Chain A
Amino acid sequence: MVLRIGADVGGTFTDVVMQRGEDFVSTKVLTTHEAPERGILDGISALSADHGVDLSEVDRVIHGTTLATNALIERRGARTAFVTTAGFRDVIETRTESRFEQYDLDIVLPRPLIERRDRFVVPERLAADGSTLLDFDVETARAVAADIVAGGYEAVAVGFLHSYRDGRHERRFRDVLVEVAPDLPMSLSCEVSPQMREFERFNTVCANAYVQPLMASYLRRLAGGLTDLGITCPLFLIHSGGGLVSVETAAAFPVRLVESGPAGGAIFAAHLASRHGRDRVLSFDMGGTTAKIALIEDQVPQTAKTFEVARTTRFKKGSGMPISIPVVEMIEIGAGGGSIASVDLLGQIRIGPRSAGSEPGPAAYGLGGTDATVTDANVQLGRLEPATFGASAIDLDPRAATTALMAAIGAPLGLEATAAAVGVAEVVDENMANAARVHAVENGRSLAEYSMVAFGGGAPLHATRLMDKLGIEELIVPTGAGVGSAIGFLLAPFAYEAVRSFHTATVADGRLGDGVDDPGFDVAGARRVLTELEDESRSFVRQGTLAEVAVERQVSMRYRGQGWEIPVRVPDGSFDDHAAEQLVHEFTKTYERFFGRAIEGLPVEAVSWAVKVASIIRPPVPVETIPDGPSAEPAGYRTIVDPPSATEATAAVVPRDQLAVGDCIAGPAVIVESQTTTILAAHHVAVVQHDRSLRVTRRPEQAAQQIGPDAS
């Protein structure tokens, strides 16, 4: 019987999940910020004691953490030096030379991770084709190395121009520095992220070096603590791309851990998609501060090659720092239970991005918070109430919610408290719906054919309204939603994705070219890159498992002259002329799907290549959908308000743990459990599935008038 532990360290809670065979048990403990391993070890001890588990029998521990992310946000990393090409000292400071907010005279741009005084330059220069324009100046390099040693730096990042093409000068600098400082942690951009575009690559290598000492010492302490508990199995880390890596890899490339928690959530959703046999799934994860939305296609979370972390202003694009690593692609917006509602200059209700967090928390928590939050609106609407609100043993105070809503929304707009709460709920749901729509458009998708999977404490409260707004026909609320990310860790494969920039293009009309007068597509070069990337990914995966692996190859392509690329899958097998032609054909088809029409006559360019190697995970046992069943007996009734119609309804209150497989709950209803609550409006119906997840659909007889707010 497998015995595995998954641990997710978040900003407020540390979730620990233990898997015994097919069963999961879990616990939530408060995160200890000064020593995050403490929470994990306490949680494991508690589970072991409560369930009588012999920890020496644990065969795998998997960990994901926001520690690296928080270090970047709070700027708590190492004192780091950055060494770069002479003439380019300020790349990470001048960024894109633009303002992320067009209408703000007092805009403050993000500070560079490494200040100008800590950035050093060495004369050297490679050309775009990898040839040498200026030799590596070893004398200056020695002087810089001496300055770094004298300066007492704790970590060093190295980023030279065009090193994605050839890292030989970066490695020469490492040789020089190693001579005088053999133990100084060092990160090279050609190893951390060999992708073209200096701002993104330099920033990524700086971030890696910046968090490396902190993460290395943390991982050492955690491994030691696990050993002290009698756990002898290896520890693995979940990375932002949603796969497992060894502790050694994680310590060398800690920047790859940055989005690991949310990645676990996406894997959780993908697993459900697989179990329920759904090919198009929208993963909706709503917590206290933010909501995260990701697309799961063919049971695999979508990934991207770059993302932005530590946004400083309202989650606004461009206000953070770019990190070029493979990552589960998702959008995150300031829409959580704690998000604060206000009225702006235009008399419009605005939600977030400020959050009341857990301290002081929503007004209804009665912990001193006075701002009106999304949670307060949910209390006002009757969705949450003291008797069934299980989190953190908090006594909800509905009067405090009313007072806060009246002060922030009701009074300025001349609305009653309930109308104000309707407004807050509608606006936050619309914000999330708009974010989901934009995300779908960015991926060339239409959401109508998707199923939604909702998890995280807040999502089931809002999911049914969101599915109506997005025209989605089916919602699945899984069991274990409150610790979804940690469960996701236990379901993840060993996986590594290597990415590298390599430019080559067809001649006009997408023809490969004759390789002589008109060289065209460099098939041999592409084959070499693919082979090297596959070898690299395999070697990382082999550190964790000898299991059978799957290889997935992808290339980013565009028409020459464009600046945005579309990912296209490389056909399996040896990469030859035929495969290249197939690739171009596949690009044209994908372009049509995105933008409606292909463009004639132009060369097609391949820009960036990626190979992902992943261990093959045994697919979950599929469950048949149960379409209908006997009505469940409500434990009671209470009044809830339905936002679109702003009318009161008497809702059945149904405790989730008393439901049996096949039970049917017709809306209006409130399905309560310890970590969340699922809301059904009058036109929704939920059926308990074989895996005890709730499957929510709209009642067919009301389909015609389900969406319109004025249907009544």
Chain B
Amino acid sequence: MTSIVDLQVMWNRMIAIVEEQALTLVRTSFSTSVREAGDLSAGVFDADGRLIAQAVTGTPGHVNTMAAAVGHFIRDIGADRIFDGDVYITNDPWKGTGHLHDITVATPVFAPGHDGAASRLIGFFASTSHVVDVGGRGYGPDAREVYEEGIRIPIMKWAERGELNADLVRIIRNNVREADQVVGDIHGLAASNETGRRRLLEMLDEFAIDDLDEVATFVFDRTHDAVMQALAAVPDGVYENSMDVDGYDRPVHLAVRLTVSDTGIHADFDRTSPISPFGINVPIVYAQAYFTYGMLVALAPELPNNFASLAPFTVGAPEGVILNAVEPDPVSVRHVLGHFVTDLCLGALAEAMPGTVPAEGAGALWNFQASARAADPVGDPRPPVELLMFNSGGTGARPTLDGLTATAFPSGVRTMSVEATEQVGPIVFWRKEIRADSGGPGRQRGGLGQVIEVAPAEGYLFEFQAMFDRVDHAARGRDGGGDGAPGALRLDDGSAFRAKGKQVVPAGRRLIMELPGGGGFGDIDQRDPAAVADDRAQGYVT
């Protein structure tokens, strides 16, 4: 019997181990979205594949997806084929994190008993990282089926008993554009699991235990009690909300019905729009992640993620709605709608818990994604340069606080330095500044969006992949607060620029992007006069 203090220390230790795992991945990754957006995850699991601890990374999209992944690995590999020294891999959107660009690697942990007993399976480490390329059409919504989106690696062995699967390495190298970087990143995932495995074995030695059963039970019991206590604060009932957003080729209607009981919250997405022909569809595990994140951040923000904290939050939707894409639906940019799921579900919760939930925010990121090409491809042989930069609008006002200006929510994305981006490629930013008057008015003001003016460097043009939402549908205020300003796009000569699809920013032109603001909260008449005066003095409101 291990003491309670030791069990607590071990729990903390396992959280530290997975954080260390995640940190290593951030440092070695070649993918901008891993580095700047924390688009990765790392976790430790018990022998049954139940998540014991997960690193807090930049993306809530991995919250449930990570938790479910190891169960798939155990089933597909087969318990009798799991050996010491194995490493498993997949990028299956429905068994991993919702699109092919995320590669998940799992490593079983075997430990000998301290009484000299034979080595046996005691748990797993798993980690996921967004890689720079998976072949296919490249990153974007234009594929009509998942087969066009790139190589799809089933759950299989990357290594068996310590021996690398050289055939698989060659297959991957032949199917992706940046083979050195992609294979480098997969080795990085396996190495980070290996670090975790060693640290875990050290912990078993230090506490003289043979397996994780007791500590896992402790973690799950404690967490279960805490999450039930948090749920008890929410009145039982059925709460609904819906939200219209721009979508890709046509508007998308997102709808949720939350059923709150003493034992959990179930989200039904059955009245949501049908599948899109474009790759904006969302595998349900990814929608579940953003739903669960919304519930946890509102009800139990202190709880670390594990099997027991996630179990009470369940989802349902018929196949064929846009939040339950199935094979072979294209899913490459599932994050755009996925990011709205949090505000959608929080909106339903607002009915159950008035005065705790923020207004709607910009939600989806406004990622600048372009290929800079020589304007004169015949006379100028310079190769194209891929550019990626994350940008955020404003978040919704909170019941007691203004919204956050130019800040990502629910995503945890960071923007990149303008200077660093200009070092990478032929691009010039002429403006990146707060957008005045874009926050929804209210007792608490919505967060402000920003204005970005960007141009190809001399001699270049941009092939631009636009994927911007909240141009036709503003973030709505709550409890009498006004809507945030919708987004807008144009070129500096006044010509229009569509919010969706491939377009060209010609040489010599600037693209002007006005990012949406967040909704306001409460009646504007109740706004503190000092806050009103400050808004004017700072130029937030003109």
Interface residues of A (CB under 8 A from B): 86-91, 93-94, 96-99, 102-109, 115-117, 125, 127-128, 133, 161-162, 164, 196-199, 344-349, 413, 419, 422-423, 426-427, 430-431, 434, 437-438, 441-442, 469, 503, 559, 561-564, 594-597, 599-602, 646, 707-711
Contacts and interface: CB of A to CB of B under 8 A. Distances in A.
Nearest to B404: A109
A135 to B, nearest CB: 14
A597 B186 CA distance: 12
B413 A98 contact: yes
A125 B180 CA distance: 37
B84 interface: no
Nearest to A438: B20
Given A88-B431, A427-B9, A710-B2, A98 B222 contact: no
A427 B28 contact: no
Contact of B417 (A103, A196, A646): A196
A110 B452 CA distance: 23
A196 B401 contact: no
A426 B36 contact: no
A562 B434 contact: no
B263 to A, nearest CB: 18
A320 to B, nearest CB: 15
Contact of B297 (A104, A438, A503): A104
A345 B226 contact: yes
The 3 closest A-B pairs by CB, nearest first: A87-B431, A563-B35, A97-B415
B407 A162 contact: no
B404 A107 contact: yes
Interface of B: 2-6, 8-9, 11-13, 16, 19-20, 23-24, 26-30, 32, 35-36, 56, 58, 60, 132, 178, 180-181, 184, 187-188, 191, 194, 205-208, 222-223, 225-226, 229-230, 296-298, 300-303, 357-358, 390-392, 398, 400-401, 404-409, 412-415, 417-420, 422-423, 428-434, 450, 453, 457, 537-540
Contacts of A430: 9, 12-13
A563 B32 contact: yes
B450 A197 contact: no
Given A430-B9, A438-B23, A710-B2, A128 B419 contact: yes
Contacts, number: 217
A595 B188 contact: yes
Given A116-B539, A438-B23, A349 B8 contact: yes
B35 A93 contact: no
Given A88-B432, A97-B406, A128-B419, A108 B23 contact: no
A161 B433 contact: no
Contacts of B226: 345-347
A499 to B, nearest CB: 15
B8 A348 contact: yes
Contacts of A115: 538
Given A196-B420, A503-B423, A346 B223 contact: yes
B378 to A, nearest CB: 19
Interface SS majority for chain A: loop
A344 B450 contact: no
Contact of A437 (B20, B27, B414, B420): B20
A196 B424 CA distance: 12
Contact of A98 (B180, B412, B422, B428): B412
A108 B401 CA distance: 8
Contact of A413 (B4, B6, B391, B538): B4
B27 A595 contact: yes
A453 to B, nearest CB: 23
Given A102-B60, A344-B302, A599 B180 contact: yes
B6 A709 contact: yes
B35 A562 contact: yes
Contact of B56 (A102, A161, A413, A597): A102
A22 B427 CA distance: 61
Contacts of A559: 30, 184
A438 B16 contact: yes
Contact of B392 (A97, A437, A503, A599): A97
Contact of B303 (A94, A117, A345, A427): A345
A426 B191 contact: no
B87 to A, nearest CB: 14
Contacts of A90: 406, 432-434, 450
B456 to A, nearest CB: 13
Given A102-B297, A196-B417, A596-B194, 17 more contacts: A87-B453, A93-B405, A97-B406, A102-B56, A103-B297, A106-B398, A115-B538, A117-B539, A128-B422, A133-B428, A198-B419, A346-B302, A413-B4, A426-B5, A438-B23, A594-B27, A599-B181
B434 A116 contact: yes
B400 A106 contact: yes
Contacts of B303: 345-346
Contacts of B537: 117
A163 B428 CA distance: 15
Contact of B132 (A164, A426, A427, A561): A561
Contact of B27 (A133, A413, A427, A564): A564
Contact of B408 (A98, A199, A441): A98
Contacts of B36: 563
Contact of A162 (B35, B60, B401, B419): B419
A102 B61 CA distance: 12
Central interface residue in A102, A348, A559, by most chain B CB within 10 Å: A102
Given A88-B418, A161-B419, A709-B6, A562 B539 contact: no
B3 A595 contact: no
Contacts of A349: 5, 8
Contacts of B20: 437-438, 441
B408 A97 contact: yes
Given A99-B407, A564-B26, A602-B181, A345 B300 contact: yes
A94 B27 contact: no
10 contacts: A90-B450, A98-B415, A102-B56, A109-B404, A116-B539, A127-B428, A344-B302, A345-B302, A346-B222, A426-B9
